[in-house]
Amino acid sequence: MIRYSLRCDAGHGFDSWFQNGTAFESLHAAGHIACPICGATAVAKDLMAPTVRPARNAGAMPVNQRPLSEPGTAVEAALAELKRQIEENSEYVGLNFVTEARRIHSGEAPERAIYGEAKPDEAKKLIEDGVPVAPLPFLPGRKVN
C-alpha cells in the first residue's frame, strides 16, 4: 500500500491510499479519483514529505497524529463542531456499539444517543435489521482508563 498526497484543480489537498503506483495511475487515467471536498476529478499528486518517526525515547507525538489546533477550512470547522456536539450529547460505547444499539432498539436498554465503533459488515446488518444508525465522518478517539 502507498499513500499519496493529492490536490484537485480547485486547490483542495487530501491523502488517499492505493495498492501500488500502477493502481493509482490506472484509476487516475480512468477518472476514478475525485476530491472528497468538491468532487473534482482533475486531481494530481502533490509534494510529499517522507514520514520520519522520532526516536523511541523522544516522547514527541508524530506530526500526523497531533490534533489540529484550528480547522483549516469551513468544512473542517463544521466537522470539528459536529464531533464536539456528538461527544457532548452522546455516550461513547466503543467496541460494544453493535450490542448496545441492538439492546436500545429492542427496549432492553434505556433509549439514549450513543456512538462507538462497528465493522462495516456489522453496521450493514444493523441497517438491514431496521436499527437506526449512521456512520460518523470522523473516527472517535478511543477512551482508555
Residue 111 pLDDT > 90: yes
Q: Give the count of domains, the chain.
A: 2
Would residue 57 count as lying in a domain?
Answer: no
Would residue 7 count as lying in a domain?
Answer: yes
**What is the rounded average pLDDT for all residues in the chain?**
84
CA 77 to chain centre: 15
CA-based nearest residue to 85, from 77, 93, 75: 77
Domain encompassing residue 38: 2-45
pLDDT digits over 50-61, tens only? 767 776 655 555
Q: Do 78 and 41 fall into the same domain?
A: no
Would residue 63 count as lying in a domain?
Answer: no
pLDDT digits over 112-125, tens only? 999 999 998 999 99
Q: Do 85 and 41 fall into the same domain?
A: no
pLDDT digits over 61-105, tens only? 554 554 555 667 888 888 888 989 999 999 999 899 999 999 999
